[in-house]
Amino acid sequence: GDSVTQMEGPVTLSEEAFLTINCTYTATGYPSLFWYVQYPGEGLQLLLKATKADDKGSNKGFEATYRKETTSFHLEKGSVQVSDSAVYFCASLNTGGFKTIFGAGTRLFVKA
Amino acid sequence: AAGVIQSPRHLIKEKRETATLKCYPIPRHDTVYWYQQGPGQDPQFLISFYEKMQSDKGSIPDRFSAQQFSDYHSELNMSSLELGDSALYFCASSLGVTVINNEQFFGPGTRLTVL
């Protein structure tokens, strides 16, 4: 079945460091891909998305490119801030599908 | 813009009690999904409804049931609650399942604590 694998955390970075969180997926067909962010004690917020191969999703300085050849959707940010500390979930949704498949989540700590 | 509404936001119950969680989808969305997120876990799909009919079923215990009503809101009924049911329960909604890129929009969640 469909699955999403993302790098284990926690990831600890200093402010202004470069961030990469790896995500790969397996799916039948051509899923849409998402990154969600969850701040402590809060719900899921959509961070960015990409709906087809080579699409780049971007928001708040975060970017991820849908790579069909490597079945990947890695999350990057050039300069992280303390306020970026949260748990990040990679997710996939097949067209016509009824459920979003989530990765295990990666906790990010950013130190001042 | 209107978002998915869930109520209550917090709920505390005793073991063996029942609980009902409610979800109000974004206007004109006809599909709702329920997810359970345990402490430190990723959200796990429970069940979904499209046009008031169950459309898919995930890892939902037999003690749980859900339905979607004529106004498209949905309720998740949980009986004989166990300590392990303590979790954050998300509802999501989308516009149909035949629409390309039917992104799911998530509600803020209901945090259930079973004592």
Q: What digits encode the pLDDT tens for the residues B22-42?
A: 999 999 899 999 999 998 898
Residue of B nearest to A105 (CA): B42
Distance from CA of A62 to the nearest CA of B (A): 19
pLDDT in tens, chain A (112 residues): 789 999 888 999 999 999 999 999 998 878 889 999 999 878 888 999 998 899 999 999 999 999 999 999 999 999 999 999 999 999 998 766 678 889 999 999 999 9
> Are the beta carbons of A89 and B42 separated by less than 8 Å?
yes
Residue of A nearest to B5 (CA): A43
Name the 3-class secondary structure at A82. helix
Computed on alpha carbons and rounded to an integer, the radius of gyration of chain A in Å comes to 13
Strands A11-14 and A106-111: parallel
Nearest-angstrom CA–CA distance, B96 and B86: 30
Residue of A nearest to B42 (CA): A104
> Are the beta carbons of B103 and A49 separated by less than 8 Å?
yes
> Are the beta carbons of B56 and A98 separated by less than 8 Å?
yes
Q: What digits encode the pLDDT tens for the residues A51-75?
A: 889 999 999 999 999 999 999 999 9
pLDDT in tens, chain B (115 residues): 678 999 999 999 999 999 999 999 999 899 999 999 998 898 999 999 989 999 888 889 999 999 999 999 999 999 999 999 999 999 999 887 555 556 788 999 999 999 9
Instruction: Check residue B101 and give its pLDDT.
Output: 56
Beta-sheet strands, E only, within B1-114: 5-7, 10-13, 19-24, 31-37, 44-50, 53-57, 64-68, 74-78, 87-94, 105-106, 110-114
On chain A, the residues whose CB falls within 8 A of the CB of B1 are none
Residue of A nearest to B34 (CA): A99
Task: Kindly list the residues of chain B whose beta carbon comes within 8 Å of any beta carbon in chain A.
Answer: 31, 33, 35, 41-45, 48, 50, 55-56, 58, 88, 90, 92, 97-98, 100-109
Beta-sheet strands, E only, within chain A: 3-6, 11-14, 19-21, 23-26, 32-38, 44-50, 56-59, 62-65, 75-77, 86-93, 101-102, 106-111
